[in-house]
Homo-oligomer: A and B are copies of this chain.
Amino acid sequence: MAVSVTAALLIIGDEILTGRTKDKNIGYVAEYLTGIGIDLREVRVVPDVEEEIVAAVNALRSRYTYLFTTGGIGPTHDDITADCIAKAFGVGIGHDPRAVAMLRERYQPDELNEARMRMARIPDGADLIENPISKAPGFHIGNVYVMAGVPSIMQAMLDNIASGLQTGARMIIETIEAEGLPEGIYAEGLAQVAAAHPSVSIGSYPSFSTAGFRNQIVARGKDPAEVAAAKAAIQDLLGRLKGDQAPL
């Protein structure tokens, strides 16, 4: 039985919920974690409201191997993530000397005002996540990894923490083009293939453009032989159905 390492992602920020900022982190984190063998099982987006953040952190960190958060770690009053994490863990929070040292690499002493020092407020017991772009660090405490919301910084932070994460068997993902066959034609056969390969998760994904529908079938699993067998069964099914539809 392949080891399963799971994760949730918590996106913190009113700007996503009003549509002002279009999220770019969910797709990136999803693909990144899948690629290193961590199964992203849930995503939540919550506003900059303390009780919402604390409740979501506690619900998600207890359910999954890891919880990753993005957003709310800057210097302004609406950046409340660090305080919420401290509250969720029931620990204190204060200026972390290691974080202050990182900020000093970027700011002159007279520039390091109280607002900027907010970015060095780290929950007690947390370790820092380096930020090569703007220095203000993220942190991790227990199984929770707290990252910036700005995509380029979040991505750099994820690179910095990835090597320290426990990973499981990598998901093998095979995409099979339905090449013009409609979902309604292959659905019954696909359900039979899915039932015959219970360790493989099989999905059918239509997309739509001015050129019409395009259907892709995706087989996902952790056992290479079983995914390959499911893929072959799907290709066989599609081949038979195309044969049925061939013009006489």
Chain A residues near B (Cβ < 8 Å): 11, 13-23, 26-34, 39-48, 52, 74-78, 107, 111, 113-116, 118, 133-134, 150, 152-153, 171, 173, 175, 183-188, 190-191, 194-195, 201-208, 213, 218, 220
Closest 9 CB pairs of A and B: A19-B31, A115-B187, A19-B30, A77-B191, A43-B45, A22-B27, A116-B184, A76-B204, A75-B187
Which one of B14, B40, B41, B218 contacts A220 once the chains associate, using CB atoms below 8 Å?
Answer: B14
Please tell me if the beta carbons of B152 and A115 are within 8 angstroms of each other in the complex. Answer: no
A216 to chain B minimum Cβ distance, whole angstroms, is: 9
Q: Can you name the residue of chain B whose Cβ is closest to the Cβ of A118?
A: B187
Please tell me if the beta carbons of A173 and B20 are within 8 angstroms of each other in the complex. Answer: yes
CB neighbours (8 Å) of A34 from chain B are 18-19
A21 to chain B minimum Cβ distance, whole angstroms, is: 6
State in angstroms the CA–CA spacing of A13 and B41 once bound together: 10
Number of identical protomers: 2
State in angstroms the CA–CA spacing of A13 and B40 once bound together: 12
* Contacts A30-B18, A113-B188; A74 near B206 (Cβ below 8 A): yes
State in angstroms the CA–CA spacing of A27 and B32 once bound together: 21
State in angstroms the CA–CA spacing of A175 and B21 once bound together: 12
Please tell me if the beta carbons of A78 and B202 are within 8 angstroms of each other in the complex. Answer: yes
State in angstroms the CA–CA spacing of A113 and B114 once bound together: 67
Please tell me if the beta carbons of A18 and B173 are within 8 angstroms of each other in the complex. Answer: yes
Q: List 15 A-B contacts (CB under 8 A).
A: A15-B205, A16-B30, A17-B39, A18-B34, A19-B30, A22-B27, A43-B45, A75-B184, A77-B195, A77-B202, A78-B203, A107-B184, A116-B184, A118-B187, A150-B207
Q: Can you name the residue of chain B whose Cβ is closest to the Cβ of A133?
A: B208
CB neighbours (8 Å) of A116 from chain B are 184, 187
Please tell me if the beta carbons of A183 and B76 are within 8 angstroms of each other in the complex. Answer: yes
* Contacts A203-B14, A208-B153; A183 near B218 (Cβ below 8 A): no
A43 to chain B minimum Cβ distance, whole angstroms, is: 4
A76 to chain B minimum Cβ distance, whole angstroms, is: 4
State in angstroms the CA–CA spacing of A16 and B14 once bound together: 21
